[in-house]
Structures are given as structure tokens and as C-alpha cells.
Amino acid sequence: MAFATLPLLLADESDTDALAQALALAWIQHGAPRLLVTLEGELGAGKTTFARAFLRALGVQGRIKSPSFSLVETYRIAIPDLQFKGTLQMPAYHIDLYRFSDPQEWEDSGLREIVGERGASLIEWPQHAQGLLPQADLSLSLVPSGTQRVGQLVAGSEVGMTMLNAVPERLKSG
């Protein structure tokens, strides 16, 4: 059941980066609970670009490869624990299901266990595991035209709703 849908208009890549940053910061401020974000859109829509900016905002340094060949790239993140003034150590997973030819591969991949643990998971091509993924906290879909992206953000949980509410006004359309 979706909580809310937000239409977006991203003029260029810096808007996509700004969207990812705002969402990542809202997640941290919410105490960084287990998170699943799904990313939909054709090849070149900007899914990996969004995921990179999201991971950067979580403090990931160095190269962020597209996981289209490796299936999953794992990062260790250390984010500020706003309640106890320390840091929270957890994994972040960047997953790309493009190469799945059958949703059953999701079950065989072991990704269900990974995504069910703590940390943040960003999944490109979630429709390639149609019906098998857990409910996403947030689903982003992107439709490209030039450098512009028409986007739609759907919140599927309370944390997703909190993140959706943190989207800067100027990125909203309509």
C-alpha cells in the first residue's frame, strides 16, 4: 500500500544529486532504520547516478561502480548517531537486477537475506524480481528527456514518508 506519491521535475544531473542528498539526510535524521529504495527507469534514466549521490551523501568515498555486472556492491557506512552522539556502522548495498532473466534468481541470489538485515539497500530494475521484493520504503521512477528527468517518488512506509517530505520544493512538479 503506497502512503503517498510525489511528482518531480529534475532539470539536470545536479537536481538528481540534490534529490538524493535530501533523501539521504532525511534518512539519517530519522535514525537510519533499515531501508529499501527501488529505482526504476530505462537504461540511462539516471538510476545509478541517483544511487551514487545517495551513497556519497552517506559518506561513501572512492569509486562507486555500477553493479550491473557484479549484481551487488557493498559499502560500509558510518553515519552520525544523532541520539547518542556516536556513529552507527552499517552496510549499504547497491544492487542492479538488470541481468536477471527470471525473478526466481532473486531467491537463489541470497539477496533477500542481505536486504532484510540492517542498513540501506538501493535496487535498480526491481521489476526483474517482480513480486518477490519486500515492500520498498521509497520507489523512485525516472523518465529521461535530454538532461531533464520527470520523476515520481512513492513512499511505502513511515520512513519513506518522512524522506518524501524532505524533498526540496523546487524539485517538485505540478
In DSSP terms, 172 is beta-bridged to 8
Kindly list the residues in this chain that would bind ligand ADP in the complex (CB under 6 A): 10, 12-13, 15-16, 41, 43-49, 124, 147, 149
Residue 79: name the closest of 98, 56, 109 by CA.
56
As measured in angstroms, the least distance from the Cβ of 123 to Mg ion is 11
State which residue, 20 or 155, has the beta carbon closest to ligand ADP: 20
SS3 call for 54: helix
Out of ligand ADP, Mg ion, none, what residue 128 binds, judged by CB under 5 to 8 A for its kind, is none
- Residue 16 or 162 with smaller CB distance to ligand ADP: 16
Grid cell listed for 150: 520527470
- Nine-digit cell string for 2: 503506497
Nearer to Mg ion by Cβ, of 40 and 124: the residue is: 124
Q: Are strands 120-124 and 4-10 parallel, antiparallel or unpaired?
A: unpaired
Residue 40: name its binding partner from Mg ion, ligand ADP, none (Cβ under 5 to 8 Å by kind): none
The neighbour count for residue 41, using CB atoms within 10 Å, is: 20
Q: How far is the CB of 51 from ligand ADP (least distance, A)?
A: 8
Beta strands at 87-96 and 72-80: parallel, antiparallel or unpaired: antiparallel
| Mask for 104-143, x = binds Mg ion (CB under 5 A) | --------------------x-------------------
CA proximity to 149, closest of 49, 23, 32: 49
In the list Mg ion, ligand ADP, none, the entry touching 43 (Cβ below 5 to 8 angstroms by class) is ligand ADP
Number of C-beta neighbours around residue 90 at 10 A? 18
Measure the CA–CA gap between 8 and 102, rounded to whole angstroms.
31
The reply to whether 47 sits near Mg ion by the rule CB under 5 A is: yes
Name the one residue in this structure whose C-alpha cell is 534529490. Answer: 19
* Nearest residue to Mg ion on Cβ basis: 48
Q: Which is nearer to Mg ion, 124 or 137 (CB)?
A: 124
Residues forming contacts to Mg ion in the complex (CB under 5 A) are 47-48, 124
